Amino acid sequence: MGGDLYALDFDGILCDSCGESSLSALKAAKIRWSSLFDQVNLSTEEWIIDQMHILRPVVETGYENLLLVRLLLEIQIPSIRKSSVADGLSIQAILENWLQLKPVIMKEWNEERDALIDLFGKVRDEWIRNDFSGWIGANRFYPGVADALRFSSSEVYIVTTKQSRFAEALLRELAGVNIPSERIYGLGTGPKVEVLKQLQSMSQHDGLKLHFVEDRLATLKNVIKDPALDQWNLYLGRWGYNTEKEREEAGSIPRIRLLDLTDFSEKLK
């Protein structure tokens, strides 16, 4: 008995996919709302991509990138505004209020989560089909992570809001790591708290020490709220998509340990 089980988030812990997800979202937004892009030039597109990097910490699931693209467009071009929130909205205000803004804009734009998820997946599939190396190259694994995964003696699971097929392709092609698909819990396998419950209840995991590494503070707080998940050791990866304010808050929560990238790679090995 003994040993460790690691449940690892994917984007912002293993893989820096922000460049790819921002570009995919821009492609998807152009399909979904093509008429809004009539007045959009290259420099506006570059501005949008730059802001997307700053806003990445608010994104829980990929389709939200599409919403951010449109919201940024509405901020930049008053004549296309259809939401009530874009007027005078700052990047900082989006960072702080995304959870409140999201349902408002979705309603005002008459958009649904599932349709946007579907479109986002299709755009990625098409990019992969047409330009596989370009798509792979828009992502990068954080330094040391690929080796740590390859040589890990722990039980490793991926728990992500990404669609599994994309995480699996990146692990294989970019990191050179083969993680069996049954160890990748992607979008559609339920909320992360439910996946963690599933993992801890499997008999082959009896006696293992449980670790969950994540870069989104809100997700760790959801775990803390659930007494059934009391056995999990929780870590916030400093290198991922979180803000200084969130790292500070995490530092004040006894249950959460702040983790640096080098310590993470060491632990995993």
Which residues of the shown chain bind Mg ion in the complex (CB under 5 A)?
A: 9, 11-12, 215
Cβ nearer to Mg ion, comparing 9 with 74: 9
Please answer whether residues 200 and 211 qualify as being in contact, where contact means their C-beta atoms are separated by less than 8 angstroms.
no
**How much helix, strand and coil, in percent to the nearest 5, is found in the chain?**
60, 10, 30
Please answer whether residues 8 and 213 qualify as being in contact, where contact means their C-beta atoms are separated by less than 8 angstroms.
yes
Cβ nearer to Mg ion, comparing 40 with 175: 175
Cβ nearer to Mg ion, comparing 33 with 239: 239
Please answer whether residues 157 and 168 qualify as being in contact, where contact means their C-beta atoms are separated by less than 8 angstroms.
no
Report in angstroms how near the CB of residue 41 gets to Mg ion at its nearest: 32
For 28: left if phi > 0, alpha if psi spans -120 to 50, otherwise beta; the answer is alpha
Report in angstroms how near the CB of residue 14 gets to Mg ion at its nearest: 9
Cβ nearer to Mg ion, comparing 155 with 214: 214
Cβ nearer to Mg ion, comparing 15 with 75: 15
Residue type at position 120? F
In the block, tokens 């069996």 appear at 180
Report in angstroms how near the CB of residue 249 gets to Mg ion at its nearest: 17
Report in angstroms how near the CB of residue 11 gets to Mg ion at its nearest: 4
Spell out the SS3 assignment of 100-130. Answer: HHHHHHHHHHCCCHHHHHHHHHHHHHHHHHH
- Position with the least CB separation from Mg ion: 12
Cβ nearer to Mg ion, comparing 18 with 105: 18
Report in angstroms how near the CB of residue 246 gets to Mg ion at its nearest: 12
Report in angstroms how near the CB of residue 204 gets to Mg ion at its nearest: 26
Report in angstroms how near the CB of residue 12 gets to Mg ion at its nearest: 3
Residue type at position 3? G
Using the Cα atoms of residue 116, residue 122, residue 125 and residue 131 in order, give the sign of their dihedral: negative
Cβ nearer to Mg ion, comparing 12 with 62: 12
Collapse the DSSP code of 71 into the 3-class scheme (helix H, G, I; strand E, B; otherwise coil) and give the result: helix
* DSSP tag of 178: -
